[in-house]
Amino acid sequence: MRFATRALRVGQDPDPKFRAVIPPLYQSATFAWEDLDHIPEIDYTRCSNPNRKILEQVIASLENGKHCVLYASGMASIGAAFALLKQGDHLLMANDIYGGTFRLAEQWLPRQGISTSYFCAHDPGSLADAVTPETKMVIFETPTNPNLRVSDIAALTKEAKKLGLIVVFDNTFASPALQNPLDLGVDIVVHSTTKYISGHSDVIGGAAVTNDDKLFEGLFEWNKAFGAVPSPFDCWLSLRGVKTLGCRMAAHCRNAQAVAEFLAGHPKVARVHYPGLIEHPDHQVAKRQMVGGFGGMLALELHSVEAARKVAEGTKVFLLAESLGGVESLIAYPPLMSHATMTEAQRLDRNIPPTMLRLSVGVEDAQDLIEDLEAALARV
């Protein structure tokens, strides 16, 4: 079966008792044993649950992976990957990394005796210079947040594997509808399912997908031990969301391209960052790598901080809010939102100027989105 069909059919045969087309909500903490000789397949919801199991099968399938473990949030899935490290190990992170991952690595890993440092994901050769004898893992993401740079997943993974590292890739921004990093050699794909996979801004969740049996065991056992598990209802909601991932992503890509082209021609906009624009510095690698489209995220720079703040506060269809990947369009100001943990210097170091805004382009009518931005820009 192909992508769109798998999203609807994997693990989702009618339930055996009443032939319900939609998997019932198993809002049960525990499951009864027949007798002491037969351990039930699912016995306690911290370890597994039917709703969670179905969603794990679907997400594994959409990422072309063998195993999926679901978590209570995207951060818990990244925390589970980091928990594969032990005291004395070193973690390499791309400079452009999600703010929450940055916070976890900066504030918590050192307490566990795990050191971290950064490298440039745009230069796969820089990995060899950045490793130490203790380096065990590398984590990166593309397109990056918020400036939408695209790095070459296959090239970077090849370098990392030569150095014997576990490669963790955060595929939240693209979603499995656009790229499948496991096919490019990545060991563990993590997701904030809060974003495109669930797609409706109504649930927080995370996933880790891998083909490696041993890594899977570590990811699963961590969750069983720490209990950062999603509720059955959250899984039920996310399953409802993921069914339409393919057609939602197509609409996100179409609308983002239209919005990017409009902004690129606007005199009050200093710069637009969208991999679908020919003038984007990584357009060629994005074209090759993001086989399903260029995504729904874009960033723009205004000519002044004041102008950026005015546009952020001035749109009506785009809501001023954190997060991304939902059907509704959102506008965000990174210094006070996603990248508030960083100092101004750390942000500038990562090419996040205070004149930058980030858009998560939804699936509304593109013309309404353009008119909304046009009106906000006119008031600057």
Ligand X SMILES: *Cc1c(COP(=O)(O)O)cnc(C)c1O
Task: Confirm whether 214 is a catalytic residue.
Answer: no
Helix (H, G, I), strand (E, B) or coil at 44: strand
Return the bridge partners of 332, or none: 358
Choices 34-42, 52-60, 151-159, 190-198 (CB under 6 A): range interacting with ligand X: 190-198
Q: Which of residues 56-95 bind ligand X (CB under 6 A)?
A: 73-75
* E strand spans, the chain: 67-71, 90-94, 115-119, 135-141, 166-170, 188-192, 206-210, 269-273, 297-302, 319-320, 330-332, 356-360
194 part of the interface to ligand X, by CB under 6 A: yes
Q: From the CA atom positions of the chain, what is the Rg in Å?
A: 21
Task: Confirm whether 129 is a catalytic residue.
Answer: no
Residue pair 264/372 in contact by the 8 Å Cβ criterion: no
Choices 158-166, 187-195, 254-262, 346-354 (CB under 6 A): range interacting with ligand X: 187-195
Positive or negative torsion for Cα 77, 81, 84, 90: negative
Amino acid at 46: R
Kindly list the strands in the beta sheet with 297-302, ordered across the sheet, starting from the edge strand earlier in the chain.
Answer: 269-273, 297-302, 356-360, 330-332, 319-320
**Spatial CA neighbour of 134 closest among 114, 161, 108, 157:** 114
196 part of the interface to ligand X, by CB under 6 A: no
Q: Out of 52, 53, 136, 195, which one is annotated catalytic?
A: 195
172 part of the interface to ligand X, by CB under 6 A: yes
Task: Confirm whether 44 is a catalytic residue.
Answer: no
Q: Out of 6, 53, 96, 98, which one is annotated catalytic?
A: 98
- Shortest separation between residue 85's beta carbon and ligand X, angstroms: 18
Determine how many CB atoms are found less than 10 A away from the CB of residue 346: 14
Task: Confirm whether 170 is a catalytic residue.
Answer: yes
Q: How many residues bind ligand X (CB under 6 A)?
A: 15
What mask of x and - would describe binding to ligand X in positions 335 to 374, judged by CB under 6 A?
Answer: ----------------------------------------
- Residue at token pair 């090419």: 351
Q: Which of 26, 82, 119, 173 binds ligand X (CB under 6 A)?
A: 173
Q: Closer to ligand X by CB, 65 or 230: give it.
A: 230
Choices 165-173, 265-273, 326-334, 347-355 (CB under 6 A): range interacting with ligand X: 165-173
What mask of x and - would describe binding to ligand X in positions 121 to 160, judged by CB under 6 A?
Answer: --------------------x---x---------------
Choices 149-157, 191-199, 263-271, 309-317 (CB under 6 A): range interacting with ligand X: 191-199
Return the bridge partners of 237, or none: none
Helix (H, G, I), strand (E, B) or coil at 140: strand
Q: Closer to ligand X by CB, 262 or 274: give it.
A: 274
Residue pair 119/95 in contact by the 8 Å Cβ criterion: yes
Binding interface with ligand X (CB under 6 A): 73-75, 98, 100, 141, 145, 170, 172-173, 192, 194-195, 204, 206
Residues that are catalytic: 46, 98, 170, 195
